[in-house]
Amino acid sequence: MSYNQSKSSQSLIINKKQISKSIIIIWGAIIIFLALADVFINHFEWISSGAIQRLVNITRDDGLPNWFSSIQLLFISIVVWCIFLSLKYSKPNLMKKGIHGWGWLIIALFFMYLAVDDGSKMHERIGTYFSDKMEFLQTYNPGFLSGIYDVFPSYGWQFVFVPIFGAIALFILYFLYKNLESKRQIIYIVLAFGCYVASVVLDFFEGMDESIYDPIMALFDTGLHPVQHFSKLIEEIFEMVGNTLFMLVFTKQLLNIAEKWKIQVVDLIDSD
């Protein structure tokens, strides 16, 4: 990024490849740091302070890893909002008609929700509320839905949210396939969703009976806590890597649109 300045005008020159490299290097370095800090500072207790261990503990909601993941999602949402607003308010208007135009708005709202959800653990709270309700109904007024939930082996939030998130993900995948400009972007999107799916699958196993980990415990001759913790570590890494891939794709899309920008700063003149 550089400035080209003359007496009459100023130009802001943005290197698209440099921005992509910066995202990979900075976000990648943060992910590696958080993973190593959790392993060595928290798990192996290289620092004996419980407060510092909790700060880098990747399983906690009030630590640096969860904060960074929420910030990632917020930045993604902001970039997609910029894409949507750029298309909607450009002259001539670049918005496509129908869902192909408003799809960017749906994606922006979805990632904005994920940012709020990741920071507040909204889906887990709602899942707990749903589980309590289903258990009550199954005990005192059993029905079809409570009967299905009674045999569901994992967390309540997955029973509620995974079908919804899955439908939204399929729409986003179809929409981006139709609207992205390069095959590399499509590949990154598929990999990003793959990371999300892997994260959800690991969380599904985490919510099952603890005996699911018996073969791994026997293989590595270790206890339940280390296996569960490192499973959670891998799950969070998948999520943050997926976020990074989404950020790369949407940033590239915004920069492609920005090549056509001619921004004018004007004062609003009253026609009267």
pLDDT mean for each 10 residues of the chain (272 residues): 57 81 97 96 92 92 92 97 86 65 91 92 87 85 84 90 95 93 93 97 93 93 92 96 98 86 64 50
Which pLDDT score is estimated for 25?
97
Which pLDDT score is estimated for 71?
97
DSSP 233: H
DSSP 92: S
Which pLDDT score is estimated for 137?
83
Which pLDDT score is estimated for 97?
65
Neighbour count for residue 10 (Cβ, 10 Å)? 9
Distance CA 271, CA 76 (A): 39
Phi and psi (nearest 5°) for 12? Answer: -100, 115
Angle at 223 between CA 195 and CA 203, to 5 degrees: 25
Torsional sign, CA 151, 153, 155, 158? negative
Which pLDDT score is estimated for 3?
52
Phi and psi (nearest 5°) for 13? Answer: -105, 120
Q: Cβ distance 253 to 83 under 8 Å?
A: yes
User: Would you give the distance in Å from CA 15 to the centre of its chain?
Assistant: 25
Place of tokens 């100023």: 10
Which pLDDT score is estimated for 215?
93
Phi and psi (nearest 5°) for 267? Answer: -90, 140
pTM attached to this predicted model: 0.89
Point out which residues pair with 13 in neighbouring strands.
Answer: 2
Place of tokens 């969070």: 236
DSSP 121: T
Distance CA 114, CA 169 (A): 12
Amino acid at 133: K
